[in-house]
């Protein structure tokens, strides 16, 4: 028996924009939190639970209480319901998604599950308003875990229990975001992309616009493969106060661009050496994850004093090439440790 696991926003429902709008407004109305960074790829976990934790840490310097999470969810769902009353077409299905769910539920070779980075309460509301029937389909959400990977694993476990399957001999995840490709790659499960062909740049082998061609989708389910996740990532350490203005300007300049003519970067295997040598005892550091294929300026790999070749960006860095930003500081013992996000690149 095989399992297909669907994401929701941008995959089954066309609700990405209204979801983002109501999510941000919920923080403002419930807690007076404004100025939220909506470049979700910069968060450690691109899930409602993970993003909420990070926003509270950055804005209030603490984690949210359980009661505050309940309040935030309730406000978020209320705003989504209001939005539906005012403009129902904001909650449409991705073309063909209702048919594909109905067809797969009757298919003797496939089981269906849903794994969303959103909270379960808002996820079920969006599916309902888009007229998608999910009764009997196991669903895992940000209520279950912080990371996309753990949410997908939870969906698989729930599916095994619901369908009484010991282990699925093939699992295919269907999603629309870069984080979906990365999650499938890390879990070593097959992946099909929904939307435009930008996902092919990340190693997705099969990308379809929507589900209108049902027979074709069922065909590629059989041949779906694990994504190669071919993003060529280079890294750059900087101070948060230098990075923050760049997000509004659209480009980032390091001091070395003026003094040396390029921005210093590193490969994942080099970053600890760089941190120890040049950033000892410095605070408020962040680590930029840069997709080198999206960098508009020239990148040259040139020898440094220690003899290794390091990537140098000869020009300003366009910020849309930066797909993740994490805090990066030495521990209490003064030593830097390799973040898990960097380990995952190797």
Question: Average pLDDT in the 255-282 region?
Answer: 92
Q: Are residues 156 and 281 in the same domain?
A: no
Q: Are residues 219 and 290 in the same domain?
A: no
CATH number at residue 137: 3.40.50.1000
pLDDT at site 291: 86
Q: Are residues 167 and 19 in the same domain?
A: yes
pLDDT at site 280: 84
Q: Whole-model pTM above 0.85?
A: no
pLDDT at site 201: 64
pLDDT at site 200: 77
Q: Are residues 123 and 16 in the same domain?
A: yes
Q: Are residues 329 and 310 in the same domain?
A: yes
Q: Are residues 336 and 310 in the same domain?
A: yes
CATH number at residue 259: 3.20.170.20
The fraction of the chain above a pLDDT of 90, given in percent, is 75
Q: Are residues 165 and 269 in the same domain?
A: no
Q: Are residues 22 and 58 in the same domain?
A: yes
The fraction of the chain above a pLDDT of 70, given in percent, is 97
Judged by average pLDDT, the poorest of 57-66, 254-263, 291-300 is: 291-300
Q: Are residues 220 and 260 in the same domain?
A: no
- Give per-residue pLDDT as tens, 93-148: 999 999 999 999 999 999 999 999 999 999 999 999 999 999 999 999 999 999 99
- Give per-residue pLDDT as tens, 36-82: 988 887 788 899 999 999 999 989 999 999 999 999 999 999 999 99
Q: Is the pLDDT of residue 230 over 60?
A: no
Number of domains in the chain: 2
More confident residue, 135 or 309: 135
- Give per-residue pLDDT as tens, 313-331: 999 999 988 988 999 988 8
CA distances from 69 to 64, 127, 237, 297 (A): 6, 22, 33, 43
Confidence of residue 346 (pLDDT cuts 50, 70, 90): low
Structure tokens at 114: 């849903």
Look over the chain and give the mean of its residue pLDDT values, rounded to a whole number: 92
Q: Are residues 134 and 180 in the same domain?
A: yes
pLDDT at site 70: 98
- Give per-residue pLDDT as tens, 173-198: 999 998 899 899 889 899 999 997 77
pLDDT at site 282: 86
pLDDT at site 331: 82
Buried b (16+ CB within 10 A) or exposed e, 219-255: ebbeebbbbebebebbbbbbeeeebeebeeeeebebe
Q: Are residues 142 and 193 in the same domain?
A: yes
Can you give the residue range of the structural domain that contains 225?
Answer: 1-230
Q: Are residues 140 and 45 in the same domain?
A: yes
pLDDT at site 334: 79
Q: Is the pLDDT of residue 157 over 80?
A: yes
């Amino acid at each position: 028996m095989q399992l297909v696991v669907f994401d929701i926003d941008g995959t089954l429902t066309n609700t990405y924009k209204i979801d983002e709008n109501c999510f941000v407004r919920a923080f403002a109305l419930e807690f007076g939190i404004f100025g939220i960074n909506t470049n979700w790829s910069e968060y450690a976990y691109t899930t409602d639970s993970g993003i909420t934790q990070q926003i509270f840490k950055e804005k209030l310097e603490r984690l949210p209480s359980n009661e505050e999470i309940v309040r935030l969810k309730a406000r978020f769902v209320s705003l989504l319901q209001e939005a539906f009353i005012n403009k129902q077409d904001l909650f449409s299905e991705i073309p063909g998604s209702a048919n594909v769910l109905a067809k797969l539920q009757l298919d003797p070779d496939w089981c269906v599950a849903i794994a969303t980075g959103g909270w379960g309460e808002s996820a079920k509301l969006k599916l309902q308003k888009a007229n998608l029937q999910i009764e009997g389909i196991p669903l895992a959400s940000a209520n279950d875990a912080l990371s996309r990977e753990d949410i997908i694993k939870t969906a698989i476990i729930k599916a095994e229990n619901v369908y009484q399957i010991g282990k699925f001999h093939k699992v295919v995840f269907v999603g629309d975001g870069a984080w979906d490709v990365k999650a499938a790659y890390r879990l070593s499960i097959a992946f099909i992309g929904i939307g435009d062909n930008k996902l092919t740049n990340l190693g997705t082998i099969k990308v379809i616009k929507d589900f209108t061609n049902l027979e074709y989708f069922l065909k590629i389910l059989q041949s779906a493969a694990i994504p190669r996740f071919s993003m060529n990532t280079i890294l750059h350490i900087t101070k948060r106060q230098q990075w923050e203005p760049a997000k509004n300007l659209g480009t980032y300049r390091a001091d070395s661009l003026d003094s040396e003519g390029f921005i210093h970067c590193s490969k994942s295997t080099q970053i600890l050496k760089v941190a120890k040598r040049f950033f000892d005892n410095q605070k408020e550091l962040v680590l930029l994850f840069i997709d080198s294929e999206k960098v508009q300026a020239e990148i040259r790999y040139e020898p440094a004093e220690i003899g290794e070749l390091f990537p140098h960006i000869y020009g300003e860095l366009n910020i849309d090439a930066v797909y993740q930003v994490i805090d990066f500081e030495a521990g209490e013992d003064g030593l830097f440790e390799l973040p898990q996000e960097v380990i995952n690149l190797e």
